Each structure stands twice: as C-alpha cells, then as structure tokens.
C-alpha cells in the first residue's frame, strides 16, 4: 500500500490543497497526518476539514493540543501565542474538541506515528541533537517511526547524521531500520526550500518518495497579513525558514 504521510500544515490551505492534489495524482491509498494542522496560518478550520476528510489517522501536534485545550500559553513566544489565541477564536467548540481528542501516538506492527518524539510525546521534545535521536530510538519499538515537528525532512538512524541523501520526487529504497523519518512540513518548511513537503511510503516495498510541491505562496502570505497575524509567519514562507 502506498501511503502519504503529511505533517505541520499550520493552517496553510494553499499548501495543503497543492499537496492533496499531488497525492491524488500519485496512486496513494491512504493518508496519515502527524499533527500541527493549525497554528501560524490563516485557514485553520478549512485545513482541519480537509484533514478530517482525507486522513485515516491524525496524531496530535503541540499546536493542535494548545488550540484544543484552554490552558495558558506562556510557554510560547509572543507571536506564536497570539496565533494560537487567534486560532482558538477561529474554531468552533466541536473543532477544538476534535483537536483535544487526538491521540498522541499510533503504532502498528511496522510503523510508529508521533508528532515530535518518544518516549513522552506530550512533552514535544525536538530531535535537534544526536543525543535526542539516541534517546528516542531506545523507546522506538518498530523498524520505522515517522515524525514531524522540526519541519526539517530527513532520515536518521542512531544519531542525527543524515546518512540518507534525499532525491526529491524520486522513489528511494529505505535502509535497514530502526529509522526515524521526518516527513518535513506541508505548510511551513524550514529547510530553505519553500515548496510544500511530504512523503509517500510503500511499506511492503520499503520505498519512500519525498515529495516537493509548489503552491501559491503569495496568496498564503497575503491571507496571514490580512488576518492580522505576525508578518513574520508570512515572510518566512517565501524563503522556507
Ligand atoms: Zn509544527
């Protein structure tokens, strides 16, 4: 089965629509979302509706969690906190309850899906340093674990050395596990490539395709500015940081 795995949409409807269009052309049978459907972008409700329509599984991201619940947001810097408060207002009670009820982790025989890292998904730990990956892998019980959160696509095994060179939009055989596979970000890439990013994974073949998809960035930027969200969230989309 060819399965698309998307993450970190962040209310960027233009990017999500482009990715779903690409998925539609790629003979994909299933779509999984690794969370952060909302936050930063101007279209949280629209993105949430599309994700609910297309994805068989959605795990919870830190922005989904913060928007779905009512706790104080002091852990976030000012602009992010403002966007989360704006997003809480933009969603109705049912949408927020849906976000609050998302599972933190999902595991099959072969694959684990989690937004940030193991063993404590609810602390949203970043796999930023080699030691983070080593610690994560101690708790990974499947050959492959798909994550998002850093918005940096990459395949890791043992430490943060990126031993797997990604060829965009090509089918590549994955090396032996255990592997941590960061699928990148649909709506706010941070690897200096502004195109939307996601993966298609064929579990039986052990083959992955890292997809990059162009979308109308200027329209997403304009919507963020018009919504009164921090201009930085718009600016960064153009450069992919
Ligand atoms: Zn995110």
Mean pLDDT of the chain: 96
Query: Over 90: is that where the pLDDT of 197 sits?
Result: yes
Give the pLDDT band of residue 56 (cuts 50, 70, 90). very high
Give the pLDDT band of residue 111 (cuts 50, 70, 90). very high
**Integer angstrom CA distances of residue 30 from 173, 201, 208:** 20, 10, 14
Cα(1) to centroid(ligand 1), Å:
27
Cα(207) to centroid(ligand 1), Å:
25
pLDDT score, position 86:
97
Cα(150) to centroid(ligand 1), Å:
7
Cα(37) to centroid(ligand 1), Å:
8
pTM beyond 0.85: yes
């Amino acid at each position: 089965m060819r399965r698309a795995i998307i993450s970190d949409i962040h209310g960027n409807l233009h990017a999500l629509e482009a990715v779903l269009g690409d998925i539609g052309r790629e003979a994909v049978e299933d779509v999984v979302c690794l969370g952060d459907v909302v936050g930063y972008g101007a279209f949280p409700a629209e993105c949430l509706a599309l994700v609910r329509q297309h994805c068989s599984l959605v795990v919870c991201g830190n922005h989904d969690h913060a928007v779905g619940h009512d706790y104080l947001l002091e852990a976030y810097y000012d602009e992010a906190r403002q966007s989360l408060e704006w997003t809480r207002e933009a969603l109705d009670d049912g949408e927020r309850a849906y976000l609050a009820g998302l599972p933190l982790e999902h595991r099959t025989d072969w694959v684990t899906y989690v937004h940030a890292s193991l063993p404590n998904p609810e602390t949203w730990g970043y796999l930023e340093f080699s030691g983070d990956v080593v610690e994560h892998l101690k708790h990974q019980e499947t050959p492959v674990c798909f994550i998002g959160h850093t918005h940096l696509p990459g395949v890791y095994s043992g430490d943060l050395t990126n031993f797997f060179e990604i060829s965009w939009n090509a089918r590549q055989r994955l090396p032996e596990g255990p592997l941590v596979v960061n699928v990148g970000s649909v709506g706010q890439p941070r690897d200096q490539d502004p195109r939307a990013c996601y993966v298609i994974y064929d579990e039986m073949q052990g083959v992955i395709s890292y997809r990059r998809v162009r979308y109308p960035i200027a329209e997403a930027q304009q919507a963020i500015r018009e919504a009164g969200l921090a201009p930085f969230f718009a600016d960064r989309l153009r450069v992919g940081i």
